[in-house]
Amino acid sequence: MKKGIALFSIGLVMLMLGIYLSINWIVIGGFLGVGGGLIMGWSTYFLAQKR
C-alpha cells in the first residue's frame, strides 16, 4: 500500500511540475507531464491490489 501511495505522490508532483515548466520549456515540461501521468497510472495497480 505504501508503494502505491509513494508512486502516486511522485507522479502527481511530476505532473504538476511538467504543467508548470511547459509554459517556458515545452519539451522538458511535456516529458515531465507525460512521465508523471504514467507513474500515476502505474501506481493504481499497486493501490488496487488486494492483500
Q: pLDDT digit string (tens) for 4-45?
A: 788 888 888 888 988 888 888 889 889 988 989 888 888 888
2-8: long-range contacts at Cβ-Cβ below 8 A with a sequence spacing of 24 or more? 3/46, 4/43, 4/44, 4/45, 4/46, 4/47, 4/49, 5/43, 5/47, 6/43, 7/39, 7/40, 7/42, 7/43, 7/46, 8/39, 8/40, 8/43, 8/44, 8/47
pLDDT at residue 46 greater than cutoff 80? no
Q: State residue 51's pLDDT score.
A: 60
What pLDDT is attached to residue 43?
84
Instruction: Indicate if the pLDDT at residue 1 is higher than 80.
Output: no
pLDDT value of position 6: 85
- pLDDT given at position 50: 62
